[in-house]
Amino acid sequence: MASEFDLYRTSEEHEMLRDSVRALAEAKIAPHAAEVDEESRFPQEALDALVSNDLHAVHVPESYGGAGADALATVIVIEEVARVCGSSSLIPAVNKLGSLPVMLSGSEELKQRYLAPLAKGDAMFSYCLSEPDAGSDAGGMKTKAVRDGDSWVLNGVKRWITNAGVSDYYTVMAVTDPDKRTKGISAFVVQKDDEGVSFGAPEKKLGIKGSPTREVYLDNVRIPADRMIGAEGTGFATAMKTLDHTRITIAAQALGIAQGALDYAKGYVAERKQFGKPIGDFQGVQFMLADMAMKIEAARQLTYAAAARSERVSEGADGAKEDLTFFGAAAKCYASDAAMEITTDAVQLLGGYGYTRDYPVERMMRDAKITQIYEGTNQVQRIVMARNLP
């Protein structure tokens, strides 16, 4: 067990990164978080701050102009941004989700073409897997891609696409051979400016209101054949490999939201007085805070352990893939369940004030809910874990 602990213990460099991201988030992102939520607008200030500090897509390798950050560093960036604004944390998280299929399976030419602009901050990347009738059953998608000479023509609808309309690039999964089920699904890069690409109205959501969620419509979208990611029929396998890695980023988001809620609640109970003393002096309140902190630390250790396994897979370690599938699902499931409990308790600790939009914990509670749903519901995560028990 000691050697395993060494895999995910943060280094001095990781803690320096945390300090710098936290300072940036508190100075440049936190002041706009309530307004972003209230107005349901994209957090442009956060994007500008992250791009200016090369934190918008730290996962991109140095060979394509990126920071070349490891999986744990990426987790820390997302965690610290989510601590102040859940919507803003989806900028680095979804940039990784959208571009990772290209990193995992794309040609060298495709990597150069799309990863370099992402690393520079000239573009954002989104991920198009889900459809109106294909959510948890992603293999039941109906979007089709038909070969026509040197091109593929795509038709279909993708739903629940994070940052749709803002992102310039989209990894799109489509059926190229209906007779082969999931082995007949291929992956493509579609650009926002491709003819035939359009977007639905933004969804009116409970939380993460600053991150637009829209349908993506593909109407006879003709793209060059060299925009296929990997070989024909390998798209679904690439999609599942991607989720093994990126479920950890949702765990990081949940972890950050939970930490933000605990930090605010701690400050509040130290100041709020009833019966002649701070409510933080009452044992019932202390026990709530202790449970919240315990769950956060457990979620953090599991999330960091999963990040270490993600890095081992990237390095090609033997047997690491099966290990990652379980740990990625476990981290996402546990951290998001914990975040929902912790943010709910934070609202409780603030009493009536916690139920108002004048205080941030109700926003954090709303933001936390989606982490139990997207990138695979927590019911699906439990299925994945059961099939990949260590």
Tokens encoding 303 = 């999330």
pLDDT of residue 1: 29
pLDDT of residue 387: 95
pLDDT of residue 12: 93
Phi, then psi, of 376 in degrees rounded to 5:
100, 120
Q: Does the pLDDT of residue 75 top 70, yes or no?
A: yes
Q: Does the pLDDT of residue 36 top 80, yes or no?
A: yes
Q: Does the pLDDT of residue 46 top 80, yes or no?
A: yes
Q: Does the pLDDT of residue 2 top 60, yes or no?
A: no
Q: Which residues are catalytic?
A: 375
CA distances to 262, 269, 272 from 279, in Å: 15, 5, 6
Assess contact for 53 and 90: CB atoms under 8 A: no
All domains of the chain, ordered by start, with CATH? 2-120 (1.10.540.10), 125-229 (2.40.110.10), 235-387 (1.20.140.10)
CA distances to 67, 153, 169, 178 from 226, in Å: 26, 13, 15, 21
Phi, then psi, of 166 in degrees rounded to 5:
-95, -45
pLDDT of residue 322: 72
Q: Does the pLDDT of residue 107 top 90, yes or no?
A: yes
What does the pLDDT look like over 327-355, one tens digit per residue? 999 999 999 999 999 999 999 999 999 99
pLDDT of residue 4: 43
Phi, then psi, of 319 in degrees rounded to 5:
70, 5
Please enumerate in sequence order all residues whose Cβ is within 8 A of that of 59, keeping only pairs 6 or more positions apart, or say none. Answer: 66, 67, 69, 71, 74, 92, 95, 96, 99, 100, 103
DSSP 161: E
* 81: three-class secondary structure by DSSP: helix
* 71: three-class secondary structure by DSSP: helix
Q: Does the pLDDT of residue 8 top 50, yes or no?
A: yes
Specify the pTM.
Answer: 0.96
What does the pLDDT look like over 275-326, one tens digit per residue? 999 999 999 999 999 999 999 999 999 999 999 999 988 877 666 677 999 9
